[in-house]
Amino acid sequence: VVTVGNVTNSNLKRKGLETFVKAAAYLPDLRFVLIGEHRDNSINHLRAIKTQNVELIGYVNDEQLLEYYQKAKVYVQVSAHEGFGIAMAEAMSCGCVPVVTDRGAIPEVVADTGFYVPYDDPKTTAEAIKNALKSNKGGEARKRIEGNFTLAIRENRLIKIINEVTK
């Protein structure tokens, strides 16, 4: 189970990093990996509340990040608000089943290929992770990204919008 986000005081709640770490306590037999640069002292808070099954990985390069996505079965994005969610889309393209909130643009990216949870609810997040692990939605998630969000598709959509606006 993986999530990606720089560890900062604001991201503890905004990106749901604290919720991710707390959810791990309900699933002690699973490995939870939080990847992201440790930018301030908030990492100390996560260290204080984490259980033994949580790994707080700092910065990784793109190649290493891809390896984490490929090893993971579930990607968690339990943000208070979120734009497109690049890390989430990258994980989905590797076949990770998303466990997400319905905030911001997340539902547009995930659609019906993942599991939705309320914001700031570690217990429900843990239940959704269990369900995601049993599901076959990883392939659907990958197809959703490949069919809707590749660079070529996004480029064509942008050109179409620009052409419509400049008419």
pLDDT of 99 strictly over 80:
yes
Percent of the chain with pLDDT over 90: 87
Distances (CA, A) of 107 to 23, 82, 97, 113, 126: 21, 10, 13, 10, 19
Dihedral (CA of 39, 42, 45, 50) sign: negative
How does residue 94 score in pLDDT terms, banded at 50, 70 and 90? Answer: very high
Question: Model confidence over 31-56: pLDDT tens digits?
Answer: 999 999 999 999 999 999 999 999 99
pTM of this prediction?
0.91
Q: What average pLDDT does range 126-136 have in this prediction?
A: 98
Give which of 113, 105, 107 is closest to 137, Cα–Cα: 113
Question: Model confidence over 7-31: pLDDT tens digits?
Answer: 999 999 999 999 999 999 999 999 9
- We report the CATH number of the domain holding residue 124 as 3.40.50.2000
Q: Which domain holds residue 115?
A: 2-165
Query: How far is the C-alpha of 96 from the C-alpha of 75, rounded, in Å?
Result: 6
* Domains in the chain, number: 1
